Structure 1
Amino acid sequence: MAFGPSAVVCAALALAFGWAAYHVTTHPRGNPLRKLAGPPVRTLFGSHMPFVLDPAKSPKTHAQYIEKYGRNVRVRGLGPWDDRLLPLDPVSVSHVLKNSAIYEKPWQSRRMISGLIGCGMLAAEGHVHRRQRRVATPAFSIQNLRALVPLVFRKGNELRDKWAELVDKPPTGEEGIEIDVCHWISRATFDVIGLAGKILLCRCAQQLDRSTGFDYHFNAIQNESDELFCAYKEMFEIAITQNNGYRTVLGLYFPILDLLFVSRHRGASKYCLIYFFAQPNERVKTVKRCHAVINRIAGKLIQSKKTWITECEKSGTGGTEKDLLSLLIKSNMATDLSPDQQISDEDILHTINTFMFAGSDTTSLALTWTLLLLARHPEIQTRLRAELLNIMPSTPLSRLTTEEIESLYTILSDHHYLNNVVRESLRLIPPVHSSLRVATRDDEMPTSYPVHLRDGSISDHKSISIQKGDFVHIPIEAFNLDSGIWGDTAWQFDPDRWDHLPEAVASLPGLYSNLLTFSAGPRSCIGMRFSMIEMKTFLYVLLTNFTFAETEKKIFKMNVVLTRPYVSGQGWKGSQCPLLVKKIAS
């Protein structure tokens, strides 16, 4: 019997529908996660994610979940087929983060990240991630990062001078002038990572070929007109300001929708199809345009750097540059690295993009939140400033030699109270709110707390069965704010807590001071030390020159890729953190 094309299409559609129906209705019923206790869902497509992901609600939500359902909670994601594990047990989370080959970032997250900054260390998995990290690790050695300290001080001084100009402009009130510290610190950290990575050297091909021209930078503190700086900022900004949940999810599952470049018609209803698809396609076109600029300029830079390093090695002069890009290329060209362990020029470009995004945005937000917390707690700000002024050298910072600056930072890096303030800020408001993993195979996840079951009983097993394909939601903020671990004052800003930590803190996984802020395990933050250099240096320079106070504007937290500050009633303006800044009387 012959079957026509229409019959084949119908059969294929029926099979696809049956497969989808099975995975939506039947398959989830056998998932072991369904046996765990968890909050109820009142509608078919109800989700717990708005409560788990919103930093305005998540601390209270996590506390309630622990009280009612224990420390390994079943929550729902996008639909009735999407049961997820929310582990609030240190042993369970440590197991997930250590076993990165079993628990990977889901393809949805990787596709979203790689669509923006390429398949760098944030998006890569398996041997690709290991190869990229192996090549990049030498660039982040303590010795190499120490060489960047004078650069960070120079940019801190530049930001200080710029703010001094703003503060001196009339009219200046007794409490100071309002400055959006989030905006300005973001510009400063872009400058730092740009110089540290030498992303920008020169503007034209002739300059790129000059072996002595390695001194160009974003100059973002002074202005925001540089072509590459604008490309990065526009790309990152559109990714976080024009992100609609439903359209983003549809674009991930059906990438063809992102190619349907529909122009938005003025006056179109927000419920019509044109409105629904116009915005994401405008986003895609913007990202592609920014990619073209980045690939053109950074691509020339990579080739120029490789040529320069090769010529230095041939002439026997050796390369003395300590910027991250030079170190990355040298590491990739090392003779003890086999060809199959090297990364391509495209991977180097993706690594550059990753450094730009992760290296500037996270640190600038951490600094912004720290200044806001100090503004809200003037007694802590005053104490820290007094201690920092006591170690200030008699010679102005701008006149210190490289050795004197490095010596000053050695004192700062070991400064007891500064360490406490930085750790407490990173604990209270981690820039990365949470992270998602997916099981690549069946696994038994160990637990240290009793596992509560859906029927009200408590399991006798010291583990939880995980099926291949199950999502595990790592609640970074929840561990940093867990009152069962940090004590009753866990939600308060108290730098002195680090002098008398509860014993339970020692059981927490974390790359830095038993905090999950920089994650843990094989995928922990490679730039943690660099971030510490930036935070401590900028805090030292700014606090010894200015005081910070709150304005009348209410600032709240929102989880938009990272935890960002917004002004109440002005969310459409993007991230803002206005503070009253005043010069310290000399």
Structure 2
Amino acid sequence: MNYRILVYSFVVATGLLLLWIIYQTFVAPRFNPLQQIAGPPTHGWFKNHLYPILEPSISPRVHEAFVQKYGRSIRVRGVGPWDERLLTLDPVSVAHVLKHSTTYEKPWQSRSLITSLIGCGMLAAEGQIHKRQRRVATPAFSIQNLRALVPLVFGKGAELKDRWMTMVVQEEQLEVSCAYPPKSRIDVCHWISRATFDVIGLAGFDYNFNAIKDETNELFVAYKEMFEVAISQGQIGRTLLNIYLPYFSALFPDKSMRTVRRCQEVIHRVAGQLVQESKRKILDGEKSGSGFYSRDLLTLLLKSNMATDLPPDHRISDEDILHNINTFMFAGSDTSSLSLTWTLLLLAQNPEMQSRLRNELLAIAPASSESLSALTEDEIQSLYGIISNLPYLDNVTRESLRLIPPVHSSIRVATQDDEIPTMYPVYKRDGTVHVGKTSVTVPKGSFVHVAVEGFNLDKAIWGDDAWSFNPDRWDDLPESALQQPGLYSNTLTFSAGPRSCIGMRFSMIEIKTFLYILLTSFVFDVTDDKIFKANVVLTRPYISGKFKEGSQCPLLVSLFSPEK
């Protein structure tokens, strides 16, 4: 009797589950309000639009075609017929989504992947946890604290310059190149990544990876290997298994997961010791009355978290501190290195602009022929103050970050039913305008695509040359561009709203300092390789036909000579 009841219960439960799946897959989507707005057709139940809207090699053309045909509030298909999404290229809509960060959160799937790698720092945290972490971290990113890191950035920039000079001179001595002046083929993507790792290591927790010198440091190798797992072209099936069945995946780990575990053990041991050591120094300084001063973000985070005026329920744990240091390592090194890489490539492709920028930088260079290492900290601070305000350098930086933002796009999920306001008309499926409708109805659980690159490259906003590299556009922006949302120069490169990039100012210090040091020392030319963009977590450069070899951006680098 009990056996029959058990079988009957199992059959009923299975039947109910099957009915629920059928309802969610075939019935519920028909009543989704997003079904009422215009969007591209799908041919087949499991066909979707994710590749064309997420692939930077074609997405500008796709976004342009969609807007012309369907308007700026576009229905797109996700992974299946139950997954109707909103792709918005309406500035009022995207401002609403990014401003209301508790209504529109990162999907749990994204947060799960991030947390499995670097923990629940500010990239993955939501709600009160994110607010608490952001509140503790904000003082560390003040202008005063970041400016104190300028000499550190100069030091690593000079070290990278010296390494490249050695490589170029060795090329000349080996007489490999027949060109004069001698040119060395350098993968700037690889080398700048090593330099920014060094910078964020020192700035993050006063730890020198010495990655420019070599790549043998235990902690550096752990971070690098773990981040490479994140951007590797792995099997989609295993990724989905890690997200939706993490316990099964943990019981039967693949090679990638074993690598992540091994790296995390090193990071928790070494970086964890750094957290405890900094905490001890702060407490010892308080006991002795002499205090403890250090400019690294870890010390500043700990001091902010231990401040007497911070209520206990607003503090974060040592584990959260470590997670956020991991977050700074991942977000801080990769985004800055890619921004610099793309900028150097764009300047190599536009030699006249490169020369113009170099002349501006040389005009403010110290008269002394001594190296940067001979400058005092005050002299470096003074020099950077001038560099940061150079008009053409500012234009080049803004234009590069507009044209190729490291984050191609972002996605949010609605935590409740909402009406997203619009500036432009909303079109129905039949192509007619929703008369009197000035919003899009978004049901709870729906995904909203924020097209970062789409906004940055919108020809209706930036002009017909929006897809071209034109630093001079910033001297006379169209009125439409001045009305765009965004933390940085009317672009979405650093996002907007409560979850905008906390490290934007630090990134600008890195980018402008490195450009100054490298462009006053070297001339950059393109190689015969065809470089293309691919969205692999971030927008990365690859050599055509060599995608499996990983991200690369080789340039021909020669020493700059004023006589040239």
TM over 0.5: yes
* Residues 1:417 and 2:425 aligned together: no
Which position in structure 2 is the counterpart of 1:76?
Answer: 77
Secondary structure in structure 2 of the residue aligned to 1:488:
coil
Which position in structure 2 is the counterpart of 1:436?
Answer: 411
The letter for the 1-side match of 2:526 is: E
Which position in structure 2 is the counterpart of 1:267?
Answer: none
Distance 1:505 1:441 in 2: 31
Secondary structure in structure 2 of the residue aligned to 1:535:
helix
Distance 2:366 2:343 in 1: 24
Cα RMSD between the aligned structures?
A: 1.1
Of 443, 463, 482, which residue of structure 2 is paired with 1:487?
463
Of 544, 548, 554, which residue of structure 1 is paired with 2:530?
554
Secondary structure in structure 2 of the residue aligned to 1:558:
strand
The letter for the 2-side match of 1:171 is: E
Distance 2:199 2:382 in 1: 20
Of 426, 438, 441, which residue of structure 2 is paired with 1:465?
441
Which position in structure 2 is the counterpart of 1:519?
Answer: 495
CA contact (8 A) 2:93 2:421 kept: yes
State the 1:243 CA deviation: 2.9
Which position in structure 2 is the counterpart of 1:152?
Answer: 153
What does residue range 393-408 of structure 1 map to in structure 2 within 5 Å?
Answer: 393-395=366-368, 396=370, 397-408=372-383
Of all paired residues, the percent bearing the same amino acid is: 62
Aligned residues: 552
Which position in structure 1 is the counterpart of 2:294?
Answer: 321
Secondary structure in structure 1 of the residue aligned to 2:407:
coil
Which position in structure 1 is the counterpart of 2:481?
Answer: 505
Distance 1:42 1:487 in 2: 34
The letter for the 1-side match of 2:242 is: G
What does residue range 273-284 of structure 1 map to in structure 2 within 5 Å?
Answer: 281-284=254-257
CA contact (8 A) 2:136 2:304 kept: yes
Distance 2:10 2:335 in 1: 49
The letter for the 2-side match of 1:389 is: L
State the 1:252 CA deviation: 1.1
Distance 2:378 2:176 in 1: 38
What does residue range 36-435 of structure 1 map to in structure 2 within 5 Å?
Answer: 36-169=37-170, 170-173=174-177, 174=179, 176-198=183-205, 200=207, 217-261=208-252, 281-395=254-368, 396=370, 397-435=372-410
Secondary structure in structure 2 of the residue aligned to 1:457:
coil
CA contact (8 A) 2:206 2:296 kept: no
Which position in structure 1 is the counterpart of 2:454?
Answer: 478
Secondary structure in structure 2 of the residue aligned to 1:394:
coil
Distance 1:91 1:112 in 2: 30
The letter for the 2-side match of 1:283 is: S
CA contact (8 A) 1:508 1:515 kept: yes
CA contact (8 A) 1:199 1:298 kept: no
Distance 2:280 2:40 in 1: 59
Distance 1:23 1:310 in 2: 56
The letter for the 1-side match of 2:319 is: E
Question: Is the deviation greater in 111-120 or in 172-181?
Answer: 172-181
Question: Is the deviation greater in 171-180 or in 37-46?
Answer: 171-180
Distance 2:32 2:423 in 1: 22
Distance 2:20 2:218 in 1: 48
The letter for the 2-side match of 1:425 is: S
Distance 1:116 1:562 in 2: 16
CA contact (8 A) 1:195 1:323 kept: yes
Distance 2:93 2:234 in 1: 32
Q: Cα deviations across residues 296-331 of structure 1 (Å, max 9, x unaligned)?
A: 011111111111100101111112211110000000
Question: Is the deviation greater in 429-438 or in 311-320?
Answer: 311-320
Which position in structure 2 is the counterpart of 1:212?
Answer: none
Counterparts in 2 of 1:288 and 1:199: CA distance versus 1, 3 Å? farther
CA contact (8 A) 2:139 2:304 kept: yes
The letter for the 2-side match of 1:111 is: S
CA contact (8 A) 2:73 2:87 kept: yes
Q: Cα deviations across residues 157-203 of structure 1 (Å, max 9, x unaligned)?
A: 00000000000112352261100000000000000000001263xxx
State the 1:17 CA deviation: 1.8
Distance 2:25 2:415 in 1: 19
The letter for the 2-side match of 1:185 is: I
CA contact (8 A) 2:241 2:249 kept: no
State the 1:256 CA deviation: 3.3
The letter for the 2-side match of 1:382 is: S
Which position in structure 2 is the counterpart of 1:278?
Answer: none
TM-score (norm 2): 0.96
Secondary structure in structure 2 of the residue aligned to 1:41:
coil
Which position in structure 1 is the counterpart of 2:518?
Answer: 542
Counterparts in 2 of 1:315 and 1:166: CA distance versus 1, 3 Å? same
Distance 2:7 2:203 in 1: 60
Distance 1:218 1:283 in 2: 23
CA contact (8 A) 1:167 1:582 kept: yes
Distance 1:282 1:16 in 2: 34
Distance 2:176 2:519 in 1: 19
Distance 2:530 2:137 in 1: 41
> Gaps (5+ residues) in structure 1?
201-216, 263-280
Distance 2:480 2:323 in 1: 39
CA contact (8 A) 2:107 2:413 kept: yes
CA contact (8 A) 2:405 2:453 kept: yes
Secondary structure in structure 2 of the residue aligned to 1:414:
coil
State the 1:439 CA deviation: 0.3
Which position in structure 2 is the counterpart of 1:271?
Answer: none
Q: Cα deviations across residues 416-472 of structure 1 (Å, max 9, x unaligned)?
A: 000000000000000000000000001111000000110221012111111110100
Distance 2:96 2:59 in 1: 23
Secondary structure in structure 2 of the residue aligned to 1:559:
strand
Q: Cα deviations across residues 503-529 of structure 1 (Å, max 9, x unaligned)?
A: 001111100000100000000000000
Distance 2:213 2:475 in 1: 40
Question: Is the deviation greater in 49-58 or in 3-12?
Answer: 3-12
Distance 2:546 2:536 in 1: 15
Which position in structure 2 is the counterpart of 1:209?
Answer: none
TM-score (norm 1): 0.93
Distance 1:372 1:244 in 2: 31
CA contact (8 A) 1:160 1:545 kept: yes
CA contact (8 A) 1:261 1:282 kept: no
Distance 1:508 1:435 in 2: 17
Question: Is the deviation greater in 22-31 or in 140-149?
Answer: 22-31
CA contact (8 A) 2:37 2:428 kept: yes
The letter for the 2-side match of 1:124 is: A
Distance 1:166 1:464 in 2: 56
The letter for the 1-side match of 2:245 is: F
CA contact (8 A) 2:540 2:551 kept: yes
Distance 2:414 2:175 in 1: 59
State the 1:343 CA deviation: 0.2
Which position in structure 2 is the counterpart of 1:204?
Answer: none
Q: Cα deviations across residues 101-148 of structure 1 (Å, max 9, x unaligned)?
A: 100001011001111110000000000000000000000000000000
Which position in structure 2 is the counterpart of 1:580?
Answer: 556
Q: Cα deviations across residues 20-41 of structure 1 (Å, max 9, x unaligned)?
A: 2211111111110000100000
State the 1:260 CA deviation: 4.7
CA contact (8 A) 1:75 1:86 kept: yes
Q: Cα deviations across residues 189-218 of structure 1 (Å, max 9, x unaligned)?
A: 000000001263xxxxxxxxxxxxxxxx10
